[in-house]
Structure 1
């Protein structure tokens, strides 16, 4: 008889406990509806201590409300709270909650938006942490791990960046895709659409025009390059070369990897190897203006300025608007002035010296006239290019073209 009384007493205690727990979960729901997320967390913490006593219905509601409480309004949320919210929603989903699926999507979206805000304010480490958290909530979203690696690189957190890049490499991440866009007829802005079908549907209306498909290239070359550059930064050239060889073995014809390998040797200071690889790359991509431009840069650094000009001119043939190529040609031409000035400064006051001085003055003007067309071409396309405008202004002054010099001075003031 005493045994039965004890059992009944225990049952009563359990029932009271369950009722109290339900009240705490209900109270948490009320606090959430009022936006009092901190008080909701307190109620849920108390309920969690007795969670094993709740039935599946109340346990599901507990995890749903926990996700809502820790996500809050999605603003000024810590990475830890984002993770807690995501884990809670995942547990609710496992128990059959459809509302939790929407909640988990909100967590991932809020994480990404918060990471973008951090990135825009150059809080790259925080952005990386949030992007990794978003990836961990849905590991199909490998693109967020890629962005996390890039942010870690910007933060100069090379260990973290290397870890994420290595993960991406192990996952076989490619990152190539198609981008479907059209121009908004009202604003004139080009807008990207999530699918070709949606873009094509919108393009049939008067709202969008000029539909375009753009292939986003593979990111494997960039990842291999960044892994190698991190190793170079850490002073481990052997690991850098090994990482690049490993990447090439899996993708021997990848043009991006060939470019990355050339860049690696450039960073190591091996300009000869760089030029060798870039010339091989030219054979594979003869219409890529950036390859010729990069060859121009390295060739100029190796001291062959005339050959560098050839490469820059080829880049301009393929891309007439490449201002950097025009600027570099002008810089190489103007660099010839140094030897002339040195000779002029070394002349005396004899008749022969005065004659030579006049000859050198004309040579100097010839250099200016040779460089001017490249600067004028840049300014014609972009009058805000301060370097080109300033250099042209100085040249016009030296040539005595006062009106042109004044015009450049006015542009520079703008």
Structure 2
């Protein structure tokens, strides 16, 4: 019995001693290079918890290489070795850099004796996914492109190109909610193109039909780009659509102070004042816009509408009069007023016609004015054009 006990004790001591052996991290990398990933993974998984190797930068470097290889393999059996290979690879590379910030010992030597640094290998890992993203985009497989660009961004989070392209891919694929989120992520990462803000906002308006959400995004964008005229104009337009007129008016007044020669701002002010039934103020704003930019079609057209409406208001008043002698006299007295209003509107509508001679509304309006002013030849010209 004593002899048997001693044998068992010796065996236990031997096993204990074996379990404390330092893992051979170089063997792990050699196994990786030979394609023996299961063995490489087993060694490196033990090395990151072993007292003698867990604080060695090269342990984590090799782990990053091993898990990156598992992540990018086309071999299903190897890929099955880990459910989160990319996450483990990125964490390992980060840990290696933390332990060896200068990365002096973090390289492998190729067959030609040329060292390949960890930073180069991370760049190749990034390119693997980035190129797959480009391929997906070119093939119009937009969700695939998005997924691969996001993966590239996970490998090199400090680079913004991949996440920007992920946003563009989502946008092109009409993956609107994902596109808005990705544009936001790109901006948060420091991407500086104003198109990122514009695209994000336009998706919110046109794609998601969320004007309130778009307004919130514009407010955030203006914190970064406080003097951007396009964002300011779009904010005003949204405020008008959302019936937040007082806020829009304050914004427009401020914008005009900063850009007194901007016809678009006066045009927007005219629309806003018209919405509040300040028609005289609207007309003056359109006049100012046209003075600045004589070819501004929107301002010219809306000015024409305001002028013709002044004539229409008098015509409505006449039509509402009764049949009494006093009413009939009043109607006759108001005819010259109507003609004066139409004469005042005529040059403006002829100008609108110059700008867009094929516009049906303009032709119809001119025909109406010519007819009421007994300008038969001009009336016939417009009538023929309508026909």
- Structure 1 length-normalised TM: 0.52
Q: Which residue among 317, 327, 334 is the counterpart of 2:308?
A: 334
SS in 1 for 2:161: coil
Match of 1:163 among 153, 178, 181: 181
Against the structure 1 CA distance between its residues 110 and 233, is the aligned structure 2 distance closer, same or farther, given a 3 Å change threshold? closer
Residue 303 (structure 1) shift: 1.1
Q: Report the CA distance shift for 1:328/1:230 in structure 2 as closer, same or farther (over 3 A).
A: closer
- Superposed displacement of residue 297, structure 1: 0.7
| Contact 1:231-1:240 within 8 A present in 2 as well | no
Number of residue-to-residue matches in the alignment: 265
1:292 is paired with a residue whose SS is helix
Q: Which residue of 2 aligns with 1:356?
A: 330
Residue 219 of structure 1 aligns with which residue? 195
Alignment of 1:137-176 (within 5 A): 140=161, 147-148=168-169, 151=172, 158-175=176-193
CA shift, 1:394, in A, is: 1.8
Contact 2:353–2:359 (8 Å) recurs in 1: yes
State how far apart, in whole Å, the 1-side matches of 2:204 and 2:131 are: 35
- Structure 1 residue 161: Cα displacement: 4.1
Q: Which residue of 1 aligns with 2:263?
A: 289
Change (3 A) 1:317 1:219: farther
User: Does structure 1 residue 368 correspond to structure 2 residue 386?
Assistant: no
Alignment CA distance shift 1:221-1:347 (3 Å) = same
User: Is the CA contact 1:292–1:311 (under 8 Å) kept in the aligned structure 2?
Assistant: yes
**Structure 2 length as normaliser, TM-score?**
0.55
Matched, 1:311 2:332: no
Structure-2 change in CA distance of 1:345 and 1:242 (3 Å): closer
The alpha carbon displacement at 1:240 in A equals: 5.9
Contact 2:263 2:293 in 1 (8 A): yes
Give the unaligned 5+ runs of structure 2.
1-73, 80-120, 154-159
Aligned pair in 2 of structure 1 residues 252, 106: CA closer, same or farther (>3 Å)? closer
Q: Report the Cα distance in structure 2 between the residues aligned to 1:330 and 1:130, rounded to whole angstroms.
A: 52
Distance 1:234 1:383 in 2: 36
How far off is 1:408 after superposition?
1.5
User: Whose radius of gyration is greater, 1 or 2?
Assistant: 2
For 1:295-354, what per-residue CA distance to the aligned partner results, in whole angstroms no more than 9, with x for missing partners?
Answer: 111111111111111211121122211122111111112222443233323333444332
- Separation (CA, whole Å) in 1 of partners of 2:365 and 2:172: 36
Find the counterpart in structure 2 of residue 23 from structure 1. Answer: none
Give the Cα separation in 1 of the matches to 2:362 and 2:169. 37
1:322 equivalent in alignment to 2:343: no
**Contact conserved, 2:180 with 2:204, CA < 8 A, in 1?**
no
- The Cα shift of 1:277 comes to 0.4
